[in-house]
Amino acid sequence: MNIPRPLEHRSPPLALLIALSALTVTSCSRKESVPQSQTSTQSTTTETHTVHVKSIDLGRGLTSDRRVITTDQPFSPGDTVYAAVVLAPPVPPSLVTARWTSADGQVVYESTLPATPGETEAVMQFKMAKPAGIPPGTYKVEILADGQVVSSKEFTVTAP
């Protein structure tokens, strides 16, 4: 009489498993020794994103979209001078400064704003006004991005 036996579960011999494991570990961790003269040096370049000023428009007033109403006319001492700074796309995240200087290079006023990053043109507005009025003369507004001058524009204040 034949009595059915349960199926035996056969596993591979232990020696075979050890050999395969050793081969796998060796191939994964094996490093070839290459002489220094045969190695190649790969340099990585870091792409820098800088602010590019498309234009600086100066005027006495601004529109709701931060554009200057009147441009490039002499200013009077009592005027507020607005600068609409148009940044070309893409605009990287950065700090943009408007530095207003007199003809002798003395800083009259300075303000800094964060640029909103984006893939479209951005317009930033800055202004300079002095309670006692701006003395007549030639001035310049310099636009700095992260501390570096990227554009500038001169303007004149004339006596009334």
Q: Is the dihedral of CA 67, 69, 75, 81 positive or negative?
A: negative
What 8-state DSSP symbol labels residue 62? Answer: B
On the question of pLDDT at 47 being above 60, the answer is: no
**What mean pLDDT do residues 121-131 have?**
93
Instruction: Grade residue 69 by pLDDT with cuts at 50, 70 and 90.
Output: confident
Considering 17-21, 28-32, 36-40, 146-150, the range whose residues carry the highest mean pLDDT is: 146-150
Residues 6+ away with beta carbon under 8 Å from 62: 68, 69, 82, 84, 125
Residue ranges of domains in the chain: 53-157
Which helix (H) or strand (E) covers residue 129, if one does?
A: none
53-157 CATH = 2.60.40.1930
pTM beyond cutoff 0.85: no
